Structure 1
Amino acid sequence: MGIRSFAAELLLPAALQPRLRSAVVDTSPKAEAASFAALSDKLSYLSKAEIKQIREAYKFADEAHLGQFRASGEPYITHPIAVAGLVADWRLDAQAVMAALMHDAMEDCGVTKVELIERFGAPTAELVDGLTKLDKLQFPNREEGQAESFRKMLLAMARDVRVILVKLADRLHNMRTMAAMQPAKRKRIARETLDIYAPIAHRLGLNQIYRELQELSFAHLFPWRHGALDKAVKRSRGYRRDIVERVHHDVEKAFAAAKQKSLVSGREKTVYSIYRKMREKHTSFAQVNDIFGFRIVVATLPDCYLALGVLHQLYKPVPGRFKDYVAIPKPNGYQSLHTTLVSPLGTAVEFQIRTEQMHAVAESGIAAHWLYKNDRRSGGAGDAHPLGAMWLQSLLDIQDETRDAAEFLEHVKIDLVPEAVYVFTPMSKIMALPRGATAVDFAYAIHSDVGDHCVAAKVNSEPVALRTELKSGDVVEIVTAPGARPNPAWLNFVRTGRARSKIRHFLKTMEQEESRSLGEKLLQQALRAEGLTLPSTDPTDTEANALWQQLTRWSGNRGRGELLTDIGLGRKIATIVAKRAAQLMAERGTRPDALTLTLGRYAADDAIPSQGGVAIDGSEGASVQLATCCRPIPGDAIVGYLGRGEGLLVHTADCHNGKRLKERDPERWMAVEWAEQPVRPFETMIAVQVRNGKGALAQVAASVSAAEADITHIDMDNERDADVAELRLSLAVRDRHHLADVLRTLKRSPPVLRSARVKP
């Protein structure tokens, strides 16, 4: 249904149907016959030597799958032959056809990669390996194993696009022959196909495969809905027969009068696309008025625009429904002019205008590279192609930043969104981004350094927030600063997988570096209490390196950096690691130093400022957090709690939450202090009672501003009509003295009755 043209389906005479070259898939039983003869008929485009190699691969696969049967009871070899037939329909090279025949050999038959390399060469073996799932490895759960298998396949695809073409042919044949499977398995495979494989086909321009995969998935997931809509579509054909025939006749007559050669064919929306439109727009079937449309295929690119003029002279166009995908192609390479016209009976009819080459790309996408290239013998089969090349490269970029398979799959799913907006750089370069993309997505699409250091954005020369969603036609300019860094809050609104993975990678890297630095400080402080100094980290110091190796083996870490990071994150207790280090150093003859021991004891005294403790200046980043319950600011007495995997959490000394934690985990507490010159303001909260009158809030804000503080957040109580209202202000202040100045200034304001700092 999804790949049959409307003209061929029901009402246009055979003489009116275009004979276009297209990669129409043969779904007849003959294409799936379990003999090499059925396949060899499709291999005429290959040389005799290549066909001989494919015959050897067929024999190998036949022997490997001997005794295996599909759920339908057919010999298993029928499946590889059918997949190879689909691959041959695309005119892929001999290596791809051989890989299609043997794509399940490694996974199901115990054939090794080395064996395939010896018999069929490394390129074919790499293709088969890229198609092989990781089922033989042990994973904690099915989802993780599936995600890792997807990652393996997608990365193999990024290196050689033939991998995904063979995989899509494999999935298409499986979807066509799923009737014998258990219902639960059918639904799981259909859902996977709808979420992953159909969007990949669309992303690579394989629209014919995309539509059929969607249609088959919908039929297996929701058979009743599919059946009801299918009947409704068939009924509507009868209702609309007259109007479609009239429009077709009028269009052909108009092109004949204009002396312009064209091929006019009808097309029909798939049942799934109708269903999705009904869901998205909350409409009934009767309200979906563009079920039928027409496709005009012309000879040259200028003819596309001439054909558009002919159509607009014939019928009136619907305002706002014209799209030029010829001048600005879709990200997957699709090109056509789209326009919607009002027919003589008042109904809207959509037209697509394209050249034959555009039609080939529209239906077959990347596969058109093989199907329609002039010299099929030239060029490597795995060459980079402009269609989808940027997305394929982005898979490798995301992989560089993301080591977790589930996270990688999440980023890929985000980038599979088909709809796009087209924006311009200040140099007038066009960039395609997913719908809903923001200025931050645009920055990372230009370059990761631009994204990492962006601080502001301008859209159409007007300053906008970084979270602003972009619209087609926007001219976007990014303002950067050398000292800027990604903000974790960006993860709440970025749309592209590239931006999300880059931000996460940067934050993880910074957290690791900060935690390692903190861990080094904590271990150094703990060793001082033992009268020892931190062993050298010089790689040429063999004795110190040997000590670190013993210490990391004891702690279960892979290296010194990982051990220090674990201490900084609170996964290891610095005092325990220090005692083990002291024991190892004692075995090597190192004795505590009296002066260092004195400094360590001096620092351990809570009443005296720490000489070697952790100084808080506000630049620590993710490894040191200020508790939100008490919001400490410079000048407050503070203590540090080393959370399990959370880094250092700083509380005020009189915080009730902090005291409860200290009673529960006394060994995780340590002395911390404020640095002499903090590098940024710190947030605290105050409560202000005011007389509820006109302009009260403005006067409070003016008083805070006069005291040189910033308001970061305001909360008000719900008693709007009361005489007295309470405001809760989050303020950014330098220290306790600055906060005292703010409170004094507020008390002098006429509407303010009282103001005080909020304590937990």
Structure 2
Amino acid sequence: MKPIDEELLLEQLIDNVKNCKDLEAAKALLFEICGHDAILEKAVDYCIFCHEGQFRKSGEPYAVHPILVATLVGFLSENKSNILAALLHDVIEDTNCTEEELREQFGSEVLKLVLGLTKIIEIREDNLISSKSKKSLTKSALTFRNMLLASIEDVGVLIVKLCDRLHNMLTLDILREDKQKRISEETLVVYAPIAHRLGISSIKNYLEDLSFKYLMPDEYKLIDNYINSNNQEMQLGLNEFISKIELLFLSNGFKQGSFEIQKRIKHSYSIYLKMQRKGIGIEEVLDLLGVRILVEKVSDCYLALGILHTHFNPLVSRFKDYIALPKQNGYQTIHTTLFDAKSIIEAQIRTFDMHKIAEFGIAAHWKYKEDGSVVAPRLDWLTDISMQSINNLENAEDYNAIELYEYAKDSLYVEDVAVYSPKGEIFTLPRGATVLDFAYEVHTKVGLHAKSAYVNRIKVPLLTELKNGDIVRVVTSNDKFYRCSWIDSVKTGKAKASIREFCKQKIREINLASSINMLSFIFGVDKNRIETWIEKENLARRIRQVATDSAYLKDIVNGLKKYAKKSYWFDKYEIKEQKIGNFTLYCNHKIANVDFDFCCHPKRGDAVLAFVKGGNAIVHHKLCDRADKMIDNNQDMVFIKWDSNIPKSYKLIFSLENKKGVLAEFLAFLAKMQINLLTINLSSDLNSAVDYFEITMEIPDNINPDSVKDRLKSRCKILDFTSLNDAYKEG
């Protein structure tokens, strides 16, 4: 079989695309990749005609952009409709072209793709918002939702969008720094993971490295400088290693031309992630250097593996067989790490057909359509996320685009753990996933009703972290066993979204019952009478708002006074504000004091409620089981909320250089910013140059957490910065 180094061809193409600034050069590049034909030439002319007089910020004619996007699409996919849609993806939105005209000129299939692309509310260069703005996150979420919905009918939409984003990233230099960071952030969080899930590693790597360059320029330069300064030595070492392997293969059953060995150096962002995850320097990254061995048959992969392990000592802990256990995106390769005389080198072994899938994923079905051995990546993740979006749209009252965005991000990240059901079915989950994540992955009902579990036939808690190869059995019950606090322990988007939704529903029920109990206490009448008044006033749909909105509580009380027993001397139903400690209460009864019950321990900022006992308000977490029973027993309740000036709690995981006095300086810096330290945990390794810390802290309400995070970045390497306020409050 003739070896194909598609990576080298793509590298040359991307370099040409990046430097292409005029129409003639762009057209020449497109026709070089896609060839000449009448319909393609017609689409190019039509694209140029429609965009005539339009220019990009860099000064070149706008039509250069869609032509180059089509060139990239053409390299990935020989599907003509995808290429034409890439050429025409902006004509309906940005020019006078109509849908009817486009259908007439290029057919219904191209129109459908273009409309799918047009529906995506893209974040344009001229209306970008600061990445610290919640508005920008909402906009990214809506963009993402629309992109997924458009791709349900035709995944070609995603191929075109990835190439569109790649070209935008290649030409990002012309924009201001804040816009560069905003686009790069979205690319790293959304587009690169989509490329990964579609199995298009070649595009994913470029998107990650380009984003990394703009988001973390110092870290990027550090890695880039190391690779450049050591490049010659590394290349020579790889060449020497490859020569050894070639001789071994030819003397152990392989024929000349039946295999190909490629050399590779790990891409920059992947190196950075490995350094962060392991807390190591670049010199300690074991798989920095690698070779890729391509063979003709699956049996040849294992023959090659046997030869390598016979002549080089393998690092057993790093062996992975993705041929026997393919990833969900269709990736199949054997990974093994070998000790050579001078270095440690990762070897990847796959067939030529597997290589096509590894580099081009779903696009390989268009690029190599004549080869029936290419297997499609699974797209259940796309259906799953899209259905989550559709469900949100159907429940418009509670729709939250940002929650979908978070759900999608969790669902898109790389799967690292393969576990089995008792029947041998394989499930791939993210690193750190728990038994409960597995249960939700099997089915939402299994997760919700999970009572206990067995891993490798040993009974374990539901939040036990899973390892590669675990056999997991979940025992269910007719009762629901979820706990809202579990949302911080599970890893998958499906588990988080399911728990969050059930907890939101529970809080809605609690708010409704609490509202009735509060009004019953205010008016001194039983629950049934309050419900009758509410029905007469047609307030049933919004009455639960009484428990969360003090202004609405006052309005409702004023509206229901006409049904209550009259008082001629004073307004006995006037709602007054009472401030006690960290709380503000609203009631027509005098509250002497606020105290906490013994059963639950709400943190400052958590959702709370309060019962009245002996003139005092007794505070519970809103999701406390004991409080739930007290609500059902119609105990007197009072409106309560945390004082607006209370600090917010955050978790910070960071690393510091392992040097005397560094931690003391850091803690002094926190104190100077008026940050209150609650807890601190240290994870130290005597052989490491850095120490890892996890702290919980309180940030005053009048200080922006984003500004705190930005200032901390100058003092430490931040690995995680998360709010500890209730993640399951009602939306």
**TM-score over 0.5 for the alignment?**
yes
Matched, 1:63 2:49: yes
Q: Who wins on radius of gyration, i.e. which is larger?
A: 1
Choose from 107, 115, 127 the match for 2:116.
Answer: 127
Deviations 1:455-484 (A, max 9, x none): 222211222112111111111111212122
Task: Classify 1:471/1:117 alpha carbon distance in 2 versus 1 (closer, same or farther; 3 Å).
Answer: same
Matched, 1:367 2:363: yes
- Show the counterpart of 1:718: none
Opposite residue 4 of structure 2, the aligned amino acid is R
How far did residue 215 of structure 1 move?
2.0
Task: Classify 1:406/1:107 alpha carbon distance in 2 versus 1 (closer, same or farther; 3 Å).
Answer: farther
- Show the counterpart of 1:144: 138
Task: Classify 1:21/1:417 alpha carbon distance in 2 versus 1 (closer, same or farther; 3 Å).
Answer: closer
* SS, match of residue 42 in structure 1: helix
Task: Classify 1:258/1:104 alpha carbon distance in 2 versus 1 (closer, same or farther; 3 Å).
Answer: same
Choose from 296, 317, 322 the match for 2:319.
Answer: 322
How far did residue 656 of structure 1 move?
6.6
Task: Classify 1:578/1:427 alpha carbon distance in 2 versus 1 (closer, same or farther; 3 Å).
Answer: same
- Show the counterpart of 1:350: 346
Give distance in 2, aligned partners of 1:58 and 1:351. Answer: 43
Opposite residue 487 of structure 2, the aligned amino acid is L
How far did residue 87 of structure 1 move?
0.7
Matched, 1:338 2:318: no
Opposite residue 398 of structure 1, the aligned amino acid is Q
Choose from 419, 441, 444 the match for 1:445.
Answer: 441
Give distance in 2, aligned partners of 1:286 and 1:534. Answer: 70
Task: Classify 1:28/1:673 alpha carbon distance in 2 versus 1 (closer, same or farther; 3 Å).
Answer: closer
Give distance in 2, aligned partners of 1:399 and 1:628. Answer: 42
Superposed, 1:364-443 pairs within 5 Å as: 364-374=360-370, 386-400=376-390, 402=392, 403-443=399-439
Q: Is the 8 A contact 2:418 2:427 kept in 1?
A: yes
How far did residue 395 of structure 1 move?
0.7
- Show the counterpart of 1:90: 76
Task: Classify 1:523/1:99 alpha carbon distance in 2 versus 1 (closer, same or farther; 3 Å).
Answer: farther
Give distance in 2, aligned partners of 1:82 and 1:168. Answer: 13
Task: Classify 1:24/1:374 alpha carbon distance in 2 versus 1 (closer, same or farther; 3 Å).
Answer: same
Unmatched runs of 5 consecutive residues or more in structure 1: 1-15, 377-384, 538-543, 553-559, 584-591, 607-626, 634-643, 659-671, 678-760
* SS, match of residue 84 in structure 1: helix
Matched, 1:79 2:65: yes
Deviations 1:180-203 (A, max 9, x none): 222332232223222322222122
Matched, 1:179 2:173: yes
Opposite residue 14 of structure 2, the aligned amino acid is T
Task: Classify 1:290/1:532 alpha carbon distance in 2 versus 1 (closer, same or farther; 3 Å).
Answer: closer
Opposite residue 614 of structure 2, the aligned amino acid is A
Opposite residue 179 of structure 1, the aligned amino acid is D
Give distance in 1, aligned partners of 2:413 and 2:594. Answer: 38
Superposed, 1:282-293 pairs within 5 Å as: 282-293=279-290
Task: Classify 1:401/1:476 alpha carbon distance in 2 versus 1 (closer, same or farther; 3 Å).
Answer: farther
Task: Classify 1:240/1:483 alpha carbon distance in 2 versus 1 (closer, same or farther; 3 Å).
Answer: closer
Give distance in 2, aligned partners of 1:571 and 1:481. Answer: 40
Matched, 1:188 2:188: no
Give distance in 1, aligned partners of 2:380 and 2:159. Answer: 17
Give distance in 1, aligned partners of 2:85 and 2:528. Answer: 66
Q: Is the 8 A contact 2:365 2:376 kept in 1?
A: no
How far did residue 323 of structure 1 move?
1.2
Give distance in 1, aligned partners of 2:176 and 2:165. Answer: 17
Choose from 448, 456, 462 the match for 1:460.
Answer: 456
Task: Classify 1:134/1:181 alpha carbon distance in 2 versus 1 (closer, same or farther; 3 Å).
Answer: closer
- Show the counterpart of 2:727: none
Deviations 1:266-324 (A, max 9, x none): 22222333333334333334334543221111111111111111222222222322211
Give distance in 2, aligned partners of 1:355 and 1:651. Answer: 72
Length, aligned pairs only: 573
Q: Is the 8 A contact 1:569 1:647 kept in 2?
A: no
How far did residue 397 of structure 1 move?
3.8
How far did residue 88 of structure 1 move?
1.1
* SS, match of residue 629 in structure 1: strand
Superposed, 1:40-51 pairs within 5 Å as: 40-44=31-35, 51=38
Q: Is the 8 A contact 2:144 2:405 kept in 1?
A: yes
How far did residue 510 of structure 1 move?
2.9
Deviations 1:381-421 (A, max 9, x none): xxxx8414121122124325552111111122222322411
TM-score, with structure 2 as normaliser: 0.69
Q: Is the 8 A contact 1:134 1:148 kept in 2?
A: no
Task: Classify 1:241/1:406 alpha carbon distance in 2 versus 1 (closer, same or farther; 3 Å).
Answer: closer
Deviations 1:99-143 (A, max 9, x none): 212323355447666765676535134322244427799998333
Choose from 23, 40, 57 the match for 1:34.
Answer: 23
Q: Percent identity?
A: 33
Q: Is the 8 A contact 1:401 1:505 kept in 2?
A: no
* SS, match of residue 332 in structure 1: coil
Task: Classify 1:426/1:400 alpha carbon distance in 2 versus 1 (closer, same or farther; 3 Å).
Answer: farther
Superposed, 1:201-350 pairs within 5 Å as: 201-260=195-254, 261-343=258-340, 345-350=341-346
Deviations 1:425-471 (A, max 9, x none): 11111110000001111111000111111122221122211211111
* SS, match of residue 328 in structure 2: coil
Task: Classify 1:147/1:531 alpha carbon distance in 2 versus 1 (closer, same or farther; 3 Å).
Answer: closer
Matched, 1:565 2:544: yes
